[in-house]
Structure 1
Amino acid sequence: MDKVLAITGASTGIGAETARQAAAAGWRLVLGARTEARLAALVAELGEDRALAVPCDVREMAACEGLVAAALARFGRLDAVFANAGLGASRPGLDEGDPENWAEMAATNMLGLAQTARAAMPALRDSRGQFVITGSVAGRKVLKGSFYGATKWAANAYGYNLREALAGSGVRVTVIEPGMVDTPFFDEPKPQGLEAGDVARSVLFALSQPPHVEIHELVILPCRAED
């Protein structure tokens, strides 16, 4: 029986590319995001027999629970979750930052992550599955005045805390920490950055490990241009 992967933030960028690569690798998919039209287009691309679209705003606990319930109702199991939903800064920096944007980032990048984990854990305990988090290099170094960076420090830390809480359960926790990625996350193209597919391959690498192997962290950076 094919394994089942749920992805939040699945409609574009890293989430959508991970869905494509996972489908090619034989996974069944439950795709969650706020943008229903993009989700529907992705399911049409991958095939309705392989993918299910579930409108999901991770800021709402009921939506996270609904994503898991839909996976179990459709496929009867849930083997992995990729907690990828995230929000960036509308204006970076301490002095220029928008407190309303900070609140949205905290609700998505921090609370949304925790709520996704809470909703998924019963099913992942049953399957002895895996929980994968989109962290960031921004959560490994200091970015002056960056609230976004602070939320990614929190995401990385939550990965550590979650792993300790699940010790002995058979559920594995992986934090993927990319550098800049050229996706619609940014308003302008970032040709010097990674491609979404680079991060997706890292997610699939972590998911492909045998049950006795746990990839704790993967840091993925673009190669520096030659001088």
Structure 2
Amino acid sequence: MQRFAEKVALVTAAAQGIGAAVARRIVAEGGAVVVTDLQQDKLDELVAELGSDQALAVKLDVTSREEIDAAVGAAVERFGRLDVLVNNAGACIINSRPEDTLPEDWHRQLDLTLVSAAQCIQSALPHLLESRGNVVTISSVNGLAAFGNTEYSAAKAGQVAMTQNFAARFGSRGVRFNVVAPGTIRTPNWDNQPGALERLGKLYPLRRVGEPEDIAAAVAYLASDDAAWVTGLTLPIEGGVLLGAAALNLGVTD
């Protein structure tokens, strides 16, 4: 498939994991991609893999509106347009009881995960209106149900509400906004926790955690014309974990 032929995407937090998988999928389907992250060396490796004619690396701190505007500008200057924004930046940066979380910790989490996504949309929007493009934001099942990590979960839930409001506001002008909500995904964030993914996988009805490519496939669908009549949607890609604990009792456990 060449669903992204002559289209340009900008992907945040694309140096590894989900973001890198999304970038690979877009290029594999004929698109050009601007990959952004703080890890310049990994971005350069990814561009070398994808080909400099189809990919551009831009170092980006998503908490800086100035740097966001510069990254969007670089995308348009290099490729002449912007059709897709993939908001992938965000991390669970707080590990404390919610009753003990300090105000500044709340602000750090919200700035990184929610406010940054809003600012990326604001910066990209004039170009997306011109191209009648779309935004896909990577949220989490944490934004849909109570899995702990309260501040992170609140930020992810905020992404869903934000997306719905942007979708309602700009649908008549041809710009779509959707969300992918992953469950546990095998990314480098788990490298320092040996055995954790295997233990977590047993909690899923499909008996495994997700791979970055699982999420990239969902993003490619929502960002493509195959989803031309889809907006304001939150698509859980989560191996059945939202079915609840009762689902585990229906299947054969390992």
Corresponding residue of 1:206: 222
Amino acid at match of 1:180: T
Task: In structure 1, list runs of 5 or more residues that go unmatched.
Answer: none
Q: 1:87·1:104 contact (CA, 8 Å) conserved in 2?
A: no
CA offsets 1:26-55 (integer angstroms, 9 cap, x no match):
110001111111111111111111100011
Query: What corresponds to 1:190 in structure 2?
Result: 197
Number of aligned residue pairs: 227
Larger CA deviation: 4-13 vs 205-214 = 205-214
Q: 1:221 maps to what in 2?
A: 238
Bigger helix share: 2
Task: Name 2:20's counterpart in structure 1.
Answer: 16
Identity in percent: 33
Q: Which shows bigger deviation, 187-196 or 119-128?
A: 187-196
2:53 partner SS: coil
Is the contact between residue 7 and residue 81 of structure 1 (CA under 8 Å) also seen in structure 2? yes
**Which 10-residue stretch deviates more, 183-192 or 38-47?**
183-192
1:141 aligns with 2:109: no
Structure 1 residue 170: Cα displacement: 0.2
Q: Distance in 1 between matches of 2:100 and 2:17?
A: 27
Please tell me whether Structure 1 or Structure 2 has the larger radius of gyration of its CA atoms.
2
Aligned counterparts of 1:212 and 1:195: Cα–Cα separation in 2:
26
- Separation (CA, whole Å) in 2 of partners of 1:67 and 1:76: 13
Q: Indicate if the aligned counterparts of 1:177 and 1:220 stay in contact, CA closer than 8 A.
A: yes
Q: Which residue of 2 aligns with 1:169?
A: 173
Matched, 1:85 2:92: no
Provide the C-alpha distance between the structure 2 equivalents of 1:4 and 1:46, rounded to a whole number of angstroms.
14
**What is the 5 A alignment of 1:146-165?**
146-165=150-169
Which residue matches 1:35?
Answer: 39
Matching of residue 59 in structure 1 with residue 63 in structure 2: yes
Aligned partners of 1:37 and 1:141: how far apart in 2? 36
Distance in 1 of aligned mates of 2:113 and 2:227: 28
Does the 8 A contact of 1:135 with 1:176 survive in 2? yes
Q: Which ranges of structure 2 fall in alignment gaps of 5 or more residues?
A: 202-208, 241-247
Q: Is the partner of 1:72 in helix, strand or coil?
A: helix
Give the C-alpha shift of residue 101 in structure 1.
Answer: 4.5
Contact 1:56–1:64 under 8 Å retained in 2: yes
SS in structure 1 at match of 2:220: helix
Q: Which residue of 2 aligns with 1:113?
A: 117
CA contact (8 A) 1:21 1:200 kept: yes
> How far apart are 1:180 and its partner, in Å?
1.3
Q: Measure, in 2, the Cα distance between the counterparts of 1:33 and 1:20.
A: 15
What letter corresponds to residue 162 of structure 2 in structure 1? Y
Range with greater deviation from structure 2 (96-105 or 23-32): 96-105
RMSD: 2.0
TM-fit CA distance, 1:208: 2.3
Relative to 1, partners in 2 of residues 1:99 and 1:184: Cα closer, same or farther, differing over 3 Å?
farther
Aligned-partner residue type, residue 47 of structure 2: V
Q: Distance in 1 between matches of 2:182 and 2:13?
A: 16
Instruction: Indicate which of 75, 79, 92 corresponds to 1:71.
Output: 75
